[in-house]
Amino acid sequence: MRFNGRVPGSSTSVLTAPAVPHGRTARRLSWLHLPAALRAKVEERLGSPVVSSQSQGTGFTPGFASRLHTADGTRLFVKAASKVAQRAVADSYTEEARVLTRLAPYAVPAPELRWTHDDDEWVVLGIEDVGALTPERPWRDDELDRTLGLLTLVAQSTAEVADDLGDELPPAVEAFPGLAGAWQVLAARSPDDRHVRSAAALAARLPDLPRQGFVHGDARDDNVLLCADGRTLLCDWNWPCRGPVWLDVVDVLVAAHGDGVDVEPLLADHPLTGEVPGEEIDVWLAAYAGWMRRAGEQPLRASSPFLGVHARWSAEAAWSWLASRRHW
């Protein structure tokens, strides 16, 4: 597990793992792939026939996710998944609808859920179409700043959510299967590698990290919306959990580090991470690297061909940053 790392001050990644094709990671259903009866139900909710659709190419699931435009000018972002053919995706959409409904009173910077449709075969979400772009990759300084500022707003607006939802928010080690045990497998393969042993020991301390609160759990560039009206929003709220409130910030910085950004000053200056002991950051980086490394070894899913590529690149980026911080 010897990964190359970023050259300090460089703006170019020197990671060896291939990166995912930006903006083209998902293989999704199109509007015409949906059953005619379901399309009719969606148009009934929209109040007008759909005249055009723009399928979104980001993400790692095959669920339907399109910006729909109707004859009367209505615009809505609609997600849909089959409970028969795409059960896991349908379950995640159901969870997203539940979470967005629960978060509505907190003024969280997220697109508004307008309506849902749930029958024996399909789950459909009608979400505000915000007219936005996702950040470019490699990360641009201004867009990274907007994203880090967004995560501050998310933390502020959800400060009471973890207490209010109680047991509805699982701890991170339960929300992400394999997060706790990844290093047990990896360390067994390399029993004589002291860095692997050190990383395993760090990751084992994850459940004991303080400052527990609400965590989005999937803060990636393709879940950040840079709106034309000046807003910056976070979408895909189907993996929330309880953990250190700064986890989302560090996840974004892992990707920025992988793109060649010097992230240490950003880590030191951010209001959520500036006062966090470095050892705690390293605990999460170790856990994240191990989990992504194991995820990257799983069999290829034809419906999500770039999921493994994303996991392997993320594992290398996290390990590279951890290694530079620990002087390995």
- The CA distance from 16 to 300, in Å, is 20
Q: Residue 123 above 60 pLDDT? A: yes
**pLDDT value of position 10:** 39
Q: Residue 174 above 60 pLDDT? A: yes
Higher-pLDDT residue of 302 and 227 is 227
DSSP 159-192: TTHHHHHGGGS-BHHHHSTTTTTHHHHHHHH-TT
Q: What is the DSSP letter of 178?
A: T
Q: Backbone dihedral region of 7: left (phi > 0), alpha (psi from -120 to 50 degrees) or beta?
A: beta
β-strand partners of 66:
55, 78
Q: Backbone dihedral region of 211: left (phi > 0), alpha (psi from -120 to 50 degrees) or beta?
A: left
pTM of the model: 0.91
Cα 131 to the chain's mean position, in Å? 20
Cα 163 to the chain's mean position, in Å? 22
**pLDDT value of position 21:** 74
* Percent of the chain with pLDDT strictly greater than 90: 72
| Distance in angstroms between the alpha carbons of the first and the last residue of the chain | 11
- The CA distance from 148 to 7, in Å, is 23
**pLDDT value of position 2:** 35
For the stretch 22-37, pLDDT in tens is: 766 667 888 998 999 9
- Cβ atoms 6, 260 nearer than 8 A: yes
- Cβ atoms 300, 308 nearer than 8 A: yes
CB environment 63-75: b (16+ within 10 A), e (fewer): bbbbbbbbeeeee
Tokens for 240, please give them. Answer: 């929330």
**pLDDT value of position 8:** 36
- The CA distance from 62 to 283, in Å, is 33
**pLDDT value of position 308:** 85
**pLDDT value of position 11:** 45
Average pLDDT taken over every residue of the chain: 90
Q: Which of 30-44, 159-173, 284-298 bottoms out in mean pLDDT, i.e. has the lowest? A: 159-173
Q: What is the mean pLDDT of residues 127-148?
A: 95
**pLDDT value of position 259:** 96
For the stretch 242-292, pLDDT in tens is: 999 999 999 999 999 999 999 999 999 999 999 999 999 999 999 999 999
What's the CA dihedral at 175, 177, 181, 186 to 10 degrees?
-130
